[in-house]
Homo-oligomer: A and B are copies of this chain.
Amino acid sequence: MANIKDIAARAGVSIATVSRALRQPDIVKAKTAKKIEEAIAALNYKPNMLAASLRRQRADAVIVAVPNIYNPFTSSFVQGIENVARDNGIKVLLGLTEGRRDLLDRHYEMISGKQADGLILLDINRPTVIEMRKPGDPPLPIVIACEYEDGIDLPRVRIDDIEAAATAAGHIAGLGHGKIAIISGPTTQRMSRDRQRGFRLGLRRSGVSIDETLIAHGDFTVESGAHAAARLLDSGKSFTAILCENDEMAVGAIHVIASRGLRVPDDISIIGMDNLRFAEFANPGLTTIALPTTAIGEQAMRLMLDFDFDAESATREVILPHELIVRDSTAAPKA
C-alpha cells in the first residue's frame, strides 16, 4: 500500500507538505495541493489512521457500550450519538455487553489501548476501572446514559423516571381505575426503584391507594412480564389495570391476558414505558411513556465532546423530558 512517502515522492514535495495538504488544506499553495491530489488519486492512497492516531494521541472514536441491540430503545439512542459524532468527525463503535461486566471491561480496553477516546455507557454495569481510580487521578472519559447512581463522578444524561412513571400512573388513575396492579423490574436497579416510586407517587396524587399484594416482579424482559401477569391473574385478586415498568413486560402481560380469554382494555388496561417500536403494533396498540431516546444519545455525545480532563469534578447531569402516548390498551374500567 502506498504511504505518505510515496505520495511525497511522486508529487515532488516533502511528506510534511502532504500531511498538511490532507489535514489543513488551506495552508498549502493551490498548485502544490493539486500535484498532491493527483499523486493520491494515481496511487490510490489511503491514510493510515493507526499511525495518525498514534502520533496525535487521539483516535477520534468513541465506543458505545450497550447490553443488547435488539432493544429498539438502544437503536435510536445510538442514532442520536451518531448524529452529533458525525458532525464532529468522530467514529462511533458499538460494543455489546450482554449485561456482563467482563465484556464491558474488554470494551474499556479499547480506551486504555488508545483505540478509542471515550466510552458512552447505556448499561447498569460499570467497568472495573471506575473502582480502581484513586481520588487524585484524572477523570475517566466515560458518559453514563439513563441508568445512574450517586457517588460516581461522571457526567450523565437521563430522564426523570419518577415523574415519567407518575405520569403513567396518573393517566390510569384519571381513567377511573381503583384496583391497580404493578409489574415492577428488579428492585436492585435504580431505574426500577424510581419507576415504582413514580407509580406510587402518581397514584397518591390522584388519591388512589395501593394494594401491596398487587405488585409482581419481572426483569424487564417480555418473558418475565408474561410470568408476572400470570401470577397476578392466578392470585385471584381483582384488578382492572396493570402499570408495567417497561413496554417489553407490558407486551408479555398482554399476551398472557389475551391467551386467557380476557380482553385489553375492556377487562384490564395496560400501560408500559419506553415506547418501543413494537408498542404501536401490539394488539391492542400499547399506551406508554415515550422517552426522548435520540435526544438522549445526542446529549450523551455532547457531554463526551465537552469532557474536560482538567476539571476537578466530571459530574454533570442533564435531564430530558418524557411524553405520554395514549393508544388502545387503556380505557376506563367497565361498570
Contact = CB atoms under 8 A, between A and B. Distances in A.
Given A75-B70, A94-B93, A96-B78, A54 B50 contact: yes
Contacts of A255: 281-283, 285
Number of copies: 2
A135 to B, nearest CB: 15
Contact of A110 (B74, B91, B109, B226): B91
B54 A51 contact: yes
Contact of A75 (B68, B109, B254, B284): B68
Contacts of A280: 222
Given A95-B94, A258-B283, A70 B68 contact: no
A34 interface: no
Interface residues on A, range: 35 or more
A278 interface: yes
Contacts of A115: 49-50, 61, 115
A65 to B, nearest CB: 11
Interface in A33-55: 46-51, 53-54
Contacts of A226: 281
Interface string A267-296: 000000000011011111100000000000
A113 interface: yes
B59 A69 contact: no
Contact of A46 (B47, B49, B113): B113
Contacts of A114: 48-50
Nearest to A277: B70
Contacts of A259: 283-284
8 smallest beta-carbon distances between A and B, as pairs: A49-B113, A94-B94, A46-B112, A70-B75, A69-B69, A70-B72, A283-B283, A50-B54
16 contacts: A48-B114, A69-B69, A69-B74, A70-B74, A70-B75, A70-B277, A78-B96, A91-B110, A93-B94, A94-B94, A222-B278, A251-B281, A255-B281, A258-B284, A259-B283, A278-B278
